[in-house]
Amino acid sequence: MTPTASKRPLQLNDQGQLRHFLSIDGLPRELLTEILDTADSFLEVGARAVKKVPLLRGKTVCNVFFENSTRTRTTFELAAQRLSADVITLNVSTSSASKGESLLDTLRNLEAMAADMFVVRHGDSGAAHFIAEHVCPDVAIINGGDGRHAHPTQGMLDMLTIRRHKGDFSQLSVAIVGDILHSRVARSNMLALKALGCPDIRVIAPKTLLPVCVEQYGVRVFTDLAEGLRDVDVVIMLRLQKERMAGGLLPSEGEFYRLYGLTQQRLLLAKPDAIVMHPGPINRGVEIESAVADGVQSVILNQVTYGIAIRMAVMSMAMSGQNTQRQLNLEAGEQN
Residue-by-residue pLDDT tens, the chain, 336 positions:
444 444 447 999 988 999 999 999 999 999 999 999 999 999 988 888 889 999 999 999 999 988 878 889 999 999 999 999 999 988 776 555 555 567 788 788 888 888 999 999 998 899 999 999 999 888 999 999 998 899 999 999 999 999 999 999 999 999 999 999 989 999 999 999 999 999 999 999 999 999 999 999 999 999 999 999 999 999 999 998 765 455 556 767 888 899 999 999 999 999 999 999 999 889 999 999 999 999 999 999 999 999 999 999 999 999 875 344 445 555 555 555
Question: Within its chain, how far is the Cα of 299 from the centroid?
Answer: 15
- Tell whether 161 is in a known binding site: no
According to DSSP H, which parts of the chain are helical? 8-11, 29-46, 70-82, 103-111, 127-134, 152-166, 184-195, 225-229, 253-260, 264-267, 290-293, 300-320, 324-335
Specify whether 176 is located in the same domain as 295. yes
In a domain, 100, yes or no: yes
Select from 185, 195, 133 the least CA-distant residue to 158: 185
Specify whether 165 is located in the same domain as 207. yes
- Tell whether 184 is in a known binding site: yes
In a domain, 2, yes or no: no
Specify whether 16 is located in the same domain as 143. yes
CA distance 151 to 144: 6
- Tell whether 266 is in a known binding site: no
The three-state secondary structure class of 12 is strand
Residue type, 283: N
Instruction: Find the domain containing 65 and state its range.
Output: 8-150+305-330
Select from 39, 6, 24, 3 the least CA-distant residue to 193: 24
So what's the pLDDT on residue 325? 45
Specify whether 14 is located in the same domain as 107. yes
Q: What is the CATH number of the domain that holds 238?
A: 3.40.50.1370
CA distance 90 to 97: 11
Q: Please report the DSSP string for 207-234 in residue order.
A: GGGS-TTGGGGS-EEES-HHHHHTT-SE
In a domain, 238, yes or no: yes
Specify whether 143 is located in the same domain as 116. yes
So what's the pLDDT on residue 320? 75
CA distance 301 to 75: 13
Specify whether 239 is located in the same domain as 312. no
Specify whether 156 is located in the same domain as 295. yes
| Torsion sign (Cα): 30, 32, 34, 37 | negative
In a domain, 335, yes or no: no
53 CB-near residues (< 8 Å, 6+ apart): 42, 45, 82, 83, 84, 328, 331
List residues bridging with 150 in a β-sheet: 146
CA distance 56 to 52: 10
Specify whether 255 is located in the same domain as 309. no
Specify whether 167 is located in the same domain as 285. yes
Whether 235 contacts 276, CB under 8 Å? yes
Full-model pTM: 0.89
- Tell whether 99 is in a known binding site: yes
So what's the pLDDT on residue 7? 45
Output 244-247 pairs: Cβ under 8 A, ≥24 positions apart: 244/148, 244/182, 245/179, 245/182
In a domain, 113, yes or no: yes
In a domain, 156, yes or no: yes
- Tell whether 239 is in a known binding site: yes
Specify whether 144 is located in the same domain as 161. no
Specify whether 69 is located in the same domain as 186. no
DSSP structure class, residue 99: G
Specify whether 190 is located in the same domain as 77. no
So what's the pLDDT on residue 145? 93
- Tell whether 137 is in a known binding site: no
In a domain, 336, yes or no: no
- Tell whether 148 is in a known binding site: no
CA distance 250 to 63: 34
So what's the pLDDT on residue 6? 44
Select from 7, 10, 102, 11 the least CA-distant residue to 314: 11
In a domain, 120, yes or no: yes
Residue type, 312: M
According to DSSP H, which parts of 47-201 are helical? 70-82, 103-111, 127-134, 152-166, 184-195
Angle between helices 70-82 and 300-320 (to 10 degrees): 50
| Torsion sign (Cα): 195, 21, 301, 328 | positive
CA distance 183 to 241: 8
Question: Within its chain, how far is the Cα of 238 from the centroid?
Answer: 12
Domain count, the chain: 2
